[in-house]
Amino acid sequence: MWTLIKNLAASGTTILLTTQYMDEADYLADWIVVIDEGRVIAEGDANSLKARVGSDHVDLVISKNSSFSAAQQAVDGARMQSDPEQRVLTIAAAMGRPPSSGFCSVCRTPRSKSKAFPCAANAR
């Protein structure tokens, strides 16, 4: 499907695409508009949006046969968040806080504050 859409756009066809996935928008769109609760909260090309809010990170999934606490101690640092229930350690690159279920992956605010800090990633 992505190839078809990309080919139509390359031939000059204007396409309005709705998606929940940034990777899809990144690949297919020249211009992205993020809407949350009916309001535009961000717009631009993929690179400018990612430069404003993006953060590279690595998720380490710890095997049930391994010690989660030992893994956590081995990589513990200011840029790490852990989810013991899912057995996942998330380590962020130097810019930004790692995304987790407790923090918005776009604006890095607590999801519990989504009304105070509206963001597309907090959309329910």
Same domain, 27 and 67: no
Place of tokens 């309001």: 39
Banded pLDDT at 74 (limits 50, 70, 90): confident
| Sheet containing 80-83, strands listed edge to edge, beginning at the edge strand earlier in sequence | 57-61, 88-92, 80-83
Q: Is the dihedral of CA 9, 12, 13, 14 positive or negative?
A: positive
Domain-ending residue, one of 33, 53, 73: 53
Tell me whether residue 27 is in a domain: yes
Same domain, 42 and 60: no
| pLDDT at residue 72 in the model | 87
Tell me whether residue 115 is in a domain: no
Same domain, 33 and 60: no
pLDDT in tens, 14-70: 999 998 888 888 889 899 998 888 888 888 888 888 777 666 778 889 999 999 999
What single DSSP character describes residue 121?
G
Same domain, 88 and 44: no
Same domain, 6 and 31: yes
- Residues, the chain: 124
Domain that holds residue 59: 54-109
pLDDT in tens, 85-106: 889 888 876 544 444 445 554 4
